[in-house]
Structure formats: structure tokens, C-alpha cells
Amino acid sequence: MTSCIILSMAIVVSAAKDSATHVPPDFQSDYSYSKPGFITTIESEASKDVGKAFLFHGEASKDVGNTSITFEGSLRRRKIAGRRGKGRGRGRRCRVADGTKCQFSRCGRGKLLPRCATGFASGVVGGRRGLSYTVTSHNDSLSNPAPGTLRYGAGLAYSNPRGVWITFSRDMTIRLRTQLLVWNHTTIDGRGFKIIITQSNIGMSGVENVIIHNLQVSGIYGGTGDTVHIFNSRKVWVDHLTCFDGENGLVSAVEGSTDITISNCYLANNNFNMLLGAEDTDIVDKDMRVTIYRNWFKNSNQRMPHCRWGYCHVVNNLYANWGLYAISARENARILSERNVFVAGIKPEVTQWSSDYNSQSDITPRIVSKGDLLLNGARFHEFLHFGRAGAPPYRRPRNYPPVVKPGKLFRLIGRCSGALVGKRIRSCFLYG
Ligand SMILES: *[C@@H]1O[C@H](CO)[C@@H](O)[C@H](O)[C@H]1NC(C)=O
Ligand SMILES: *[C@@H]1O[C@H](CO)[C@@H](O)[C@H](O)[C@H]1NC(C)=O
Ligand SMILES: *[C@@H]1O[C@H](CO)[C@@H](O)[C@H](O)[C@H]1NC(C)=O
């Protein structure tokens, strides 16, 4: 597998190009979100829920059990809040009314998962038409991957033109020895178990049609790249991922990648969070289209996201405590920030704006805020020097993600973001 090694090296080199700033010292301490009176503004619904929502994630993570069997039953009884009354015949028709819960309902069960995709990655099918493969061993070996391991399964898509759909047989922690490369038409579907991938990252380069779903990928150190590193690839859906504590970025899409949706992820405790377009000279990214939807960006210093050249639709996300900035752009990028919640922690400015911004600065990006909810003193400085961002260029109107009022995001994202297993799924459906 010489090609693997070459690709890994290419990824390391590119990752190193964009790693200038370090986390400021005051950023290391965890900000207390549950302080009484923390929320100072607007929407009573939001302030009522915020304390609970933030506490919840901490409690929940202790509690990711293997009780997923019970949730199907409880779902059926409730008939899924988001869908009730929309489809006829008691919900038999699965209209994808909710870009968060569909994945865990009967509508998105098994290889029906792709119908839950929304945003620019709509139409992705991953390995639906390919081999079915179950990971039974947490072992990893680069030189001689054994059948039953994740690396062996991912490699199957290299030679199989229809790709592979990978599931897991039990809870497991996989310590990758080096970057895991994902090929064309691949789904890694972690539903049903608590799957943790650590030590090395997941990468893709020059591929299309990939779904990465319901995993924790965390603690990626040692220069293998960003936690999920997407190079020159298209139609990629990264969904319900729990990512934190990486040496580099968490999820990034660079060097000609497009038609990507990053949704329902819990992305926390990092300096560089999400880089979309890595270099000012990467004109190839002018066709980049990324949907960033219902993610929880928490305790991170910068890049949530940082966009270059392309169009970034940042819609219905929850932001809590950023450092340098939350959102920024360069090189003609367009960002529509729509109905997000920004809860300021140590810094108020959402965008990378300062009073000495002048004609020497890159004023080409357009950053527009539409219906965002700004809390705890958060301020949003729009960038309109070259006009407005325009509507997101979805191919079909129905690819536009379902948008809720930002006040609802505390519960929804607080309960439903990241990898969901067992009680957390039930909690998402009952209270999210
Ligand atoms: C959950 O996992 C534990 C240990 O892995 C096992 O003992 C228990 O039977 C499992 N419970 C269910 C409901 O599968
Ligand atoms: C994992 O690898 C170890 C050492 O190479 C081996 O002894 C063990 O049998 C493997 N486990 C499985 C489930 O393949
Ligand atoms: C994956 O798909 C891309 C785009 O269709 C193609 O150029 C590339 O050769 C494929 N890779 C493999 C390993 O088949």
C-alpha cells in the first residue's frame, strides 16, 4: 500500500502549513456556563434552558451505555415528534422533516441513513450499494490489517467499485496506529454502540460519496492531521460526531473539496476547530460549498469555521465560549450565518473584527448574519464591503436544511449533538 503512505505524507505537510497561533493561556480553564445570571439577554425560553443544556452534556457523557435496544420501542410509541402529523398514514411515509433525529428513527434505519442527509451533501449515499462489513475487533495494523478490523473494512472500498458500508458489533475503542484513509462510496456507521477512535485521524483524499456517522473521534495528536481531514473530495457528510482535544483542527475540508455537510457534531476544546479552505492561494476552493448545521461549537479558540473562497452556510448551530473569534473568512468567501445562537464567554466578537480593521486587511469576504441570537454580550460584526453573501446555492430547494428558531437550539443541540447511544438517544427524542 505505497499509495497510502504517500497520501499520509501529503496530508501531514499540508496540515503543518496552517498552524500558527496557540491557545491563549486564559483559554485553558473551562468557563462555567451554569453560573446564575450568566445569560443577560433576550428570549426567556433560551435563558430557562441554557443552564440545563450545558450541564447536560457533562452528565450525559458518563452515561453513554449500550441500551440502544430500548429506543426503537419508545420511538414507535412517540411516533417521532418532528414527523408527527406531516406524513400521512400514521408516519408511514418518511419525509425527512428533521435533520437531527431522522438518523435514529425508523426512517433512517440501516442503509436508509442517506435520506436523512441535508444541505450541500444531499444525495450522498456512501456505501449503500456496496459490501456490508462489520467491525468485530478493535485491533489495528497498518502493514497487515486483519479481517474484522476497521482498517481492513475501510480498505475494501479501495478495490470494490461499489464501496462498503461499515458497522460495528460492540462498543469499542480503536487506537489507530496511523491515519485511517477512507475511499470512495464508504459509510462508517457507528450507530448502536459506543465507538471511540483515537490516536490517529480519519483522512480522505480525492474521493467522493462518504458518510462518517455517530462516532467519537478524539485525542488526535502526533501530526497525522486534523481529526477528520477532507482533501480534494466531494459529497461528504460528517454527522453526529463527537470530536474534541486535537492537536490540529477538528473537521476540515481543503484543496478543492466541495458539497459537504457537517451536521449534529459536538466540536469542543480545541484551538483550531473547523478550517474550510486552507490557503489564500487555493483558488480551487472557489467552488467549495459547505453546510454547517446543528453543531455545538464549545470552548474553542478559533475557526468555527474559517472559510476561504467558497460558500459556507452556517445554520442553526450553538456556539458557547470562543477565544479569538468564532467565524472568519478570507479571499472572497461568503458566509451566511443563519439563526445560530452565540453565547459569548471570554470574548464578545463573533467575527474576527477589530477596530484597526482597514484597507490593508482582507476585506473581500462577505459575512452576513440573519436571525442569529446573540447572548451574554456577544456581538456580530458583518462584513459587507463587497455586498451581501446571497442565498446558499442549493441545487434543489429541499436541500435547504430545516431551520428552527434559535431559542430551540439549546435543548435540541444540547441533547442531540455528537455521537448518540442508549439513553442519550432517548433523551434527544423525549426532550431535545
Ligand atoms: C452492556 O454491556 C455490558 C458490558 O459490556 C454487558 O454486561 C451488558 O449485558 C450489556 N447490556 C445490554 C443490555 O446489552
Ligand atoms: C489483536 O491483536 C493481538 C496481537 O496482535 C492478537 O493476539 C489478538 O488475537 C487480536 N485480537 C483479535 C480479536 O483479532
Ligand atoms: C474515487 O473517485 C474519484 C472520482 O470519481 C476517482 O477519480 C478516483 O479514481 C476513485 N478512486 C479509486 C481508488 O477508485
Mean pLDDT, 10 residues at a time, over the chain (432 residues)? 35 30 25 24 28 27 22 29 38 70 93 96 98 98 96 97 98 96 98 96 97 96 89 98 93 97 96 94 96 96 96 97 94 97 94 70 92 95 93 96 95 95 93 88
Residue 314 CB partners (closer than 8 Å, separation 6+): 292, 305, 327, 335, 336, 337, 338, 340
Contact 117, 136 (CB under 8 A): no
Q: Which helix (H) or strand (E) holds 54?
A: helix 44-61
* 158 CA distance to ligand 3 middle (Å): 9
Residue 183 CB less than 6 A away from ligand 3? yes
Please tell me the number of Cα atoms within 13 Å of 193 on its side-chain side.
19
**Ligand 3 atom showing the smallest separation from residue 184 Cα:** 1
What are the pocket residues of ligand 1 if the criterion is a CB atom closer than 6 Å to any ligand atom? Answer: 66-67
Residue 303 is a catalytic residue: yes
Q: How many residues does the chain have?
A: 432
Nearest CA residue ID for atom 6, ligand 1: 66
* 14 CA distance to ligand 3 middle (Å): 21
Cell of 426: 432517548
Residue 358 has a pLDDT of 63
Contact 205, 224 (CB under 8 A): no
Residue 208 CB less than 6 A away from ligand 3? yes
Nearest CA residue ID for atom 6, ligand 3: 207
pTM: 0.79
Residue 31 has a pLDDT of 26
Integer Cα distance of 374 and 207 in angstroms: 38
Integer Cα distance of 309 and 278 in angstroms: 10
Residue 304 has a pLDDT of 97
Residue 285 has a pLDDT of 96
